[in-house]
Amino acid sequence: MLRLAPLLIVTLLVAPILAGLTMALLPAFGYLPALGGERLSLAPWRELLAQPGLARSVAVSLASGLITTAVSLGVVLLFLAGASGSRLDRWIRRLVAPLLSLPHAAAAFGLAFLIAPSGLLARLVSPGLTGWERPPDLLLVNDPWGLSLMAGLVVKEIPFLLLMSLAALPQLDPDRRIAMARSLGYRPLTAWFKVVAPALYPLIRLPVYAVIAYATAVVDVALILGPTLPPTLAVSILTWFHDPDLSRRFMASAGAVLQLGVTAAALVAWWCLERGATRLGRHWLARGGRGQGEQPLRLAGRALILLATLSAFVGLVGLALGSVAGFWRFPEALPQSVTAAHWLRALPTLAGPVATTALIAIGATLCALVLTLAALENEQRSGRHPAQGRLLSALTLLYLPLIVPQIAFLFGLVVVMESLGIRPRPWLVMFGHLLFVLPYVFLSLSEAYRRLDPRWSQLASSLGASRHAVFWRVRLPLLLAPLLTAGAVGLAVSIGQYLPTQLLGAGRIATVTTEAVSLAAGGNRRVIGVWALVQACLPLAGFALAVGLPRLIWSRRRGMQGAP
Amino acid sequence: MTAGHRLRLQAIEISLEGAPLLRLDAAVGPGEVLTVMGPSGSGKSTLLAYLAGFLAPAFRASGRILLDGSDIGRLPAERRHIGLLFQDPLLFPHLSVAGNLRFGMPRDKVDKGERVEAALAQVGLAGFGPRDPATLSGGQQARVALMRLLLAEPRAVLLDEPFTRLDLPLRHEMRRLVFDRLRQAGLPSLLVTHDPQDAAAAGGPVVDLAGQ
């Protein structure tokens, strides 16, 4: 059984994506017998290219992918380079970590509350600085160039890239590298960029690519913060797909293929940038500049990461204020009256979606944990490690669902399910979530699992414990904390999913996320505040358990307090 | 304790990707300690891994490991009845001291609690059963690790530089304790070390892998 686990995982991840892509590709060229498309033709493409504003949609999608990634990565690297282990730096790191669990949609709503013309920021400086007595007529949210969209994405991608880097850094032993470079006369920040960054980047390259892919094709954040006339390509595709005129599905399929191309183009463009940076970097390294004027850069790194982090938190505060606000006249920074009415009115409608969200998240996470443990345990027992050839490629496949844009294969998958006669059910949505939960759970757990000192299991078997006993009585208890963290990551990923729920549930399965995002168009801040807050809090419950449970269980075991 | 066991290593040869690494032919009688010495890279740890049943797939080994006359070379580690003592005590951090001692005890023992207490008393740790192993001193942990090994009733023991991490006075004391106990139990042991004093304290034959 165990031996089949890696194969099962790869099949589970790759087969739906291939099937989905195929069923997007065929209709894109006019072939979908169920809708009367019997012959291959280019008509869907002609129709797609005739859509007004298509070029703008594509440009915004492409730009948001590249700019979001460049800004997020730049801020993270600058912060890490300038970080000196001071109390401020550690405080910033601790502040950033919980943001990873914050669903994209909630972060986007928070930012929208913050920067909207009638938002918290405008209220704080009005009328004092601006003289505004009423909200100015500015298109700050949903701006046509997608700047607010990119800002919303940057707020979420910074924590992701930062934590990925922090996880990879220890194996590079950065302190000794820096000490060596400084003994050769390099200033600390320059030393970091010259001796740590070049070794770090290859380790976080795949997460960086995942950010590019995500930012070019995101739907929920684009519905909340993105441009509207025309929207980004991914949002347009979704609109066409949901058009009551079913023949538009052909054009939607062509759009999905185009989206695949846009994401691929963004990845290729980034790869070229990488090559260019490597070449320039080599020159810069060899020139031997020791660095000067570092202080401003160091400050910039901290200031930017604080700005991004604080805007997320203040946005959440804005959401909370909005959800309890009674009367709230424009330039006032705080509501004149506070009321529980919005919460009371929302409560009866919250229960169902919260339960569905929890059910789907727990189901998908448990499946992912079992599969991940089976694959990792198989790796241990067969003594084969990922660095040895074959498994390396399997590991790269784990990233496939994170690098192929969701919209490009998900609705092809819907077509597959429809033609198989499979009706939307919670388990189908759960399966859709598993595609995205599994990679994150695997990535989150595999490091700890592989790093566990092999002498523990050797010792246990020399004491007569069978392989099963070693797994249940030694490895699992020792890895309880990382196991629960991986579970919390899985829950958070599932709770934040919008598109798989919407498409595989055919709009009939309501989770907290789909409900919250559907409120975006309405613009009722009170109700949005309630739903977005609930959405933000659910993943936190998982992380609270992941942190609290091991402390409770191991309260009398000092050796289990730190990381294993 | 039991009458004594015999370990016979017959024409052991280990190679890494075709390149021969070490060869060994030896017999270890009850209560005897065979010391294997050699610089790092000479294959000492590989030899232990092979005997205990954890040889990495990249290595090839031939020869026979006879324990009381039967070849255990193909058995999984947990059925070889070979005990291990590492540099670190490696007490399971999620179990109590007693939990650690019970972990390796054969299932059919009915008086586990009494045996644990008796074992602790023998090394001057009476009443330590419910303690968290992390609260014990290094020397106390090393003694618990030794008793855990003995309670599992192994038929042979492999020692992987078990004294290097201890400070000097403790090292003398532990050497004496470990070798006395192994001799009493009639266990054939194989000690891997680069410390000549370990070899002298063990008092048995010495094989030097460096000369090969």
Confidence of residue B58 (pLDDT cuts 50, 70, 90): confident
Q: Average pLDDT in the A335-352 region?
A: 86
pLDDT of residue A95: 83
Residue B76 in contact with partner chain A when CB distance is under 8 A: yes
Q: Average pLDDT in the A280-309 region?
A: 85
Q: Which of A461, A464, A474 has its CB closest to that of B92? A: A474
Higher pLDDT, A36 or A482: A482
pLDDT of residue A70: 96
Is B57–A460 a contact, with Cβ atoms under 8 angstroms apart? no
How crowded is residue B66: how many other Cβ atoms within 10 Å of its Cβ? 16
The CATH number of whichever domain residue A208 belongs to comes to: 1.10.3720
Is A560–B93 a contact, with Cβ atoms under 8 angstroms apart? yes
**Alpha carbons A415 and A24: distance in angstroms, whole number:** 8
pLDDT tens for residues A128-165?
A: 777 777 777 777 788 888 899 999 999 999 999 998 89
Q: Average pLDDT in the A266-287 region?
A: 91
pLDDT of residue A388: 45
Q: How close is the nearest chain A Cα to the Cα of B51, in Å?
A: 11
pLDDT of residue A430: 94
**Alpha carbons A420 and B114: distance in angstroms, whole number:** 64
pLDDT of residue A535: 92
**Alpha carbons B130 and B189: distance in angstroms, whole number:** 31
Q: How close is the nearest chain B Cα to the Cα of A378, in Å?
A: 14
pLDDT of residue A85: 74
Q: What is the dihedral of CA A549, A551, A557, A562, to 10 degrees?
A: 120
- Which structural domain range is residue A164 located in? 52-228+270-339
pLDDT of residue A1: 72
Do the domain assignments include residue A168? yes
Residue B130 in contact with partner chain A when CB distance is under 8 A: no
Is A463–B86 a contact, with Cβ atoms under 8 angstroms apart? no
The secondary structure of residue B106, as a DSSP letter, is -
Confidence of residue B204 (pLDDT cuts 50, 70, 90): confident
**Would you say residue B21 has pLDDT above 90?**
no
Structure tokens at A507: 């709009």
**Alpha carbons A249 and A419: distance in angstroms, whole number:** 15
Question: β-strand B156-160 against B19-28: which pairing, if any?
Answer: unpaired
pLDDT tens for residues A69-126?
A: 999 999 999 999 988 777 888 888 888 878 888 999 999 999 988 888 778 888 877 7
Do the domain assignments include residue A157? yes
Q: What is the complex's ipTM, to 2 decimals?
A: 0.91
Q: Find the DSSP H helices in A29-117.
A: 43-49, 54-82, 87-96, 104-115
Q: Which of B76, B93, B103 has its CB closest to that of A557? A: B93
pLDDT of residue A334: 81
Residue B132 in contact with partner chain A when CB distance is under 8 A: yes
Q: Which of A369, A376, A353 is nearest to A489 (CA)?
A: A369
Is A462–B135 a contact, with Cβ atoms under 8 angstroms apart? no
Confidence of residue B44 (pLDDT cuts 50, 70, 90): confident
Is A473–B103 a contact, with Cβ atoms under 8 angstroms apart? yes
Q: What is the mean pLDDT of chain A?
A: 87
**Would you say residue B76 has pLDDT above 70?**
yes
Per 3-state DSSP, chain A is made up of helix, strand and coil in percentages (nearest 5) of: 75, 0, 25
pLDDT tens for residues A363-399?
A: 999 999 999 999 899 888 877 665 444 445 566 788 8
Residue B203 contacts residue B182 (beta carbons within 8 Å)? no
Do the domain assignments include residue A403? no
pLDDT of residue A339: 84
pLDDT tens for residues A130-140?
A: 777 777 777 77
The secondary structure of residue A337, as a DSSP letter, is S
E strand or H helix at A351:
helix A341-382
Q: How close is the nearest chain A Cα to the Cα of B160, in Å?
A: 11
Is B154–A462 a contact, with Cβ atoms under 8 angstroms apart? yes
Per 3-state DSSP, chain B is made up of helix, strand and coil in percentages (nearest 5) of: 35, 25, 40
C-alpha R_g of chain A: 25
pLDDT of residue A386: 56
The share of chain A scoring above pLDDT 70, in percent, equals 97
| Domain total in chain A | 1
Q: What is the dihedral of CA A64, A66, A70, A72, to 10 degrees?
A: 40
Q: What is the mean pLDDT of chain B?
A: 90
| Least trusted range by pLDDT, from A199-213, A482-496, B195-209 | B195-209
Q: Which of B57, B82, B133 has its CB closest to that of A462? A: B82
pLDDT tens for residues A534-544?
A: 999 999 989 88
For residue B160, the chain A residue with the least C-alpha distance is A455
pLDDT of residue B143: 94
Residue B45 in contact with partner chain A when CB distance is under 8 A: no
Is B92–A456 a contact, with Cβ atoms under 8 angstroms apart? yes
pLDDT of residue A33: 75
pLDDT tens for residues A175-211?
A: 899 999 988 888 888 899 999 999 999 889 989 999 9
Confidence of residue B3 (pLDDT cuts 50, 70, 90): low
pLDDT of residue A106: 92
**Would you say residue B1 has pLDDT above 50?**
no
Q: Average pLDDT in the A431-439 region?
A: 93
pLDDT tens for residues B93-148?
A: 999 999 999 999 988 888 889 999 999 999 999 999 999 999 999 999 999 999 99
A contacts of B88 (beta carbons < 8 Å)? 455
Residue B152 contacts residue B144 (beta carbons within 8 Å)? no
Chain A stretch 367-386, residues whose beta carbon is closer than 8 A to a beta carbon of chain B: 383-384
Residue B69 in contact with partner chain A when CB distance is under 8 A: no
Per-residue DSSP letters for A146-215?
-HHHHHHHHHHHHHHHHHHHHHHGGGG-HHHHHHHHHHTT--HHHHIIIIIHHHHHHHHHHHHHHHHHHH
Structure tokens at B11: 């024409």
Residue A62 contacts residue A270 (beta carbons within 8 Å)? no
Residue A463 in contact with partner chain B when CB distance is under 8 A: yes
Q: How close is the nearest chain A Cα to the Cα of B7, in Å?
A: 16
Sheet holding B19-28: strands in order across?
B19-28, B7-16, B59-67, B70-71
Q: Which of B55, B59, B78 to mutate to test the interface with A (most CBs of A within 10 A)?
A: B78
Topology of the domain comprising B7-94+144-211: Rossmann fold (3.40.50)
Fill in the amino acid letter for B78.
E
**Alpha carbons A183 and A193: distance in angstroms, whole number:** 15
Q: What is the dihedral of CA A225, A228, A232, A234, to 10 degrees?
A: 90
pLDDT of residue A172: 87
B contacts of A558 (beta carbons < 8 Å)? 93, 132, 134-135
Do the domain assignments include residue A502? no
pLDDT of residue A357: 94
Residue A468 in contact with partner chain B when CB distance is under 8 A: no
Residue A562 in contact with partner chain B when CB distance is under 8 A: no
| Least trusted range by pLDDT, from A63-67, A196-200, A214-218, B16-20 | B16-20
The share of chain A scoring above pLDDT 90, in percent, equals 38
Fill in the amino acid letter for A464.
G
